[in-house]
Amino acid sequence: MKGNIIGFDADTNTGAISGHDGRRYDFATVEWRGHGIPRHGDVVDFTPDGERATQIFLLEAEYAQPSFGQFYFSPSGRISRSQFWLRGMLPIYGIMIVLYVIMIIGISAKSGVITGIFSVIVSIYALIVIWPIIAVWVKRIHDRNKSGWYLLIPIIAGIIVAIVMIVAIASTVSAIMTGHDSEVGLLAGAGVFAVILYLINFGIGIWFFVEFGCMRGTIGANLYGPDPVPHR
């Protein structure tokens, strides 16, 4: 019989399955035949024995390659590292670099028309790709079996650092220009604090890049879908 894992307690090594017959079946890990631990939502095949489930096998759905629209515009599902870099980041930022190069060539050639046209194109393109970048990152984060909200960590950290540094620099310049020398030392301390925040933010960026840009996703199905990398 097929069913879904509805709960598992690692402390007691027991769990429950909602059978497709509408009944609930309890089980112990001694009957678990899947890799890893049972997870909420896992589709399983088991043998009912009264109110207990025995011989429980994990059924993994086959990974379906996302379509163009799903890949770039849907935050649902998972993608592997190779999909993330080769199908996601490389095309998005590759086009951006090409547009910038053409714009720079226009500036070097002192062609106001080329520069103006590609300045507008670059600005529009930068706005258009904001959501695709978010969607691709979220699916990669899902591959690590973590919530897409993790993406807010480097974004919020970067915003805080930018605000603190702008305020510190502006306040310091203002104090110097107005001759309030007594405030310069205090503001210099604020500047040091801003630099410390910047270094912390840099560390967060490195962690985020390694965790979600470089590391292998969950082997097998996780909370966000089947494994995009064949492992059998």
DSSP string, 101-170: HHHHHHHHTT-HHHHHHHHHHHHHHHHHTHHHHHHHHHHHHHHTT--GGGGHHHHHHHHHHHHHHHHHHH
Picking from 126, 143, 160, the residue at the C-terminal end of a domain is: 143
169 within domain boundaries: yes
228 within domain boundaries: no
Number of domains in the chain: 3
Picking from 143, 164, 180, the residue at the C-terminal end of a domain is: 143
Instruction: Look at residue 223 in the predicted model and tell me its pLDDT.
Output: 77
Instruction: Look at residue 164 in the predicted model and tell me its pLDDT.
Output: 80
State the pairing for strand pair 43-49/52-58: antiparallel
Instruction: Look at residue 72 in the predicted model and tell me its pLDDT.
Output: 96
Looking at the structure, tell me whether residues 8 and 69 fall in a common domain.
Answer: no
159 within domain boundaries: yes
Instruction: Look at residue 160 in the predicted model and tell me its pLDDT.
Output: 87
229 within domain boundaries: no
Contacts of 189 (CB under 8 A, 6+ apart): none
In order along its 232 residues, the chain shows pLDDT tens digits of 888 888 899 889 999 999 989 899 999 999 998 767 888 777 889 999 999 999 998 887 667 889 999 999 999 999 999 999 999 999 999 999 998 888 888 777 776 777 788 788 888 999 999 999 999 999 999 999 999 999 999 999 989 888 887 777 776 666 666 655 555 555 556 667 777 888 998 999 999 999 999 999 988 777 788 889 875 4
Looking at the structure, tell me whether residues 70 and 138 fall in a common domain.
Answer: yes
Picking from 123, 143, 163, the residue at the C-terminal end of a domain is: 143
Looking at the structure, tell me whether residues 137 and 153 fall in a common domain.
Answer: no
Give the domain extent around 123.
65-143
Instruction: Look at residue 183 in the predicted model and tell me its pLDDT.
Output: 53
224 within domain boundaries: no
Instruction: Look at residue 217 in the predicted model and tell me its pLDDT.
Output: 92
Looking at the structure, tell me whether residues 26 and 92 fall in a common domain.
Answer: no
71 within domain boundaries: yes
